[in-house]
Every structure is written in structure tokens, then in C-alpha cells.
């Protein structure tokens, strides 16, 4: 099974670019952790919203990635710049362009 995750977060005013830099700084190490797709984007209508879309080998790979020292450090650095408003949706990937076949 391939695990998908879509989420959003709101930054405190003036901190979106700092949080973006944190999210993008560790993306190279995600492949080794079982990540197939990691896309970070910004809202075109709200200058405080960041969207993250991920595809992982499994839910367990995703959960394990959250325990990596680099991930924990990134979360700790970003949290003071976030409002605490998050959305998330988990899903099972069935296919598509850029994702592994199931």
C-alpha cells in the first residue's frame, strides 16, 4: 500500500517564507526514509497558508520519518512561527503521474 498525506498550516504574519525554507531544507533526506513525492506550495489567496502533499511507501514510513532527528529539529524550528491551524487528510494512493504503481 502507498500512503498519501495532504495537509496545510497557517503561519503567523510575516513568517511564511521562513517556514517554507525550513520545510524545503530537509527534502533531500526524505527519499531514503521512504518518501516518493514531497510537494510544498503556497496559497494564491492567503499569504499565511502553506500546503504540503506527500506520497510515502507506507503509513509506517511516514510515521518513522517524523521521529528522525532532522525532522524533529525542523518541526521545533517551525512551530513558534505557526498559528496552530492545521488541516490534514490521509489517503491510499491508487496511481497517477509521478507516483509508484500499485
Is residue 101, in this structure, part of any structural domain at all? no
Question: Please, are residues 51 and 42 in contact by the beta-carbon 8 Å criterion?
Answer: yes
Going from the C-alpha of 64 to that of each of 12, 35, 49, 61, 68, the distances in angstroms are 28, 11, 26, 5, 7
CATH number at residue 19: 3.30.70.100
pLDDT one digit per residue (tens) for the chain, 102 residues: 699 999 999 999 999 999 999 999 978 889 999 999 999 999 899 999 999 999 999 999 999 999 999 999 999 999 999 999 999 999 999 988 888 776
Is residue 78, in this structure, part of any structural domain at all? yes
Could you list the residue range(s) of the whole structural domain that residue 86 is in?
2-93
Number of domains in the chain: 1
Sequence-ordered alpha helix ranges (H) in the chain:
16-25, 59-65, 69-78
Is residue 98, in this structure, part of any structural domain at all? no
Amino acid at each position: 500500500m502507498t500512503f498519501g498525506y495532504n495537509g496545510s498550516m497557517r503561519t503567523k504574519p510575516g513568517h511564511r517564507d521562513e517556514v517554507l525554507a525550513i520545510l524545503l531544507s530537509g527534502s533531500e533526506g526524505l527519499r531514503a526514509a521512504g518518501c516518493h513525492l514531497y510537494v510544498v506550495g503556497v496559497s494564491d489567496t492567503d499569504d499565511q497558508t502553506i500546503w504540503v502533499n506527500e506520497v510515502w511507501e507506507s503509513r509506517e514510513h511516514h510515521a518513522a520519518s517524523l521521529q528522525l532527528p532532522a525532522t524533529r529539529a525542523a518541526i521545533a524550528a517551525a512551530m513558534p512561527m505557526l498559528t496552530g491551524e492545521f488541516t490534514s487528510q490521509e489517503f491510499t494512493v491508487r496511481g497517477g503521474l509521478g507516483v509508484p504503481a500499485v
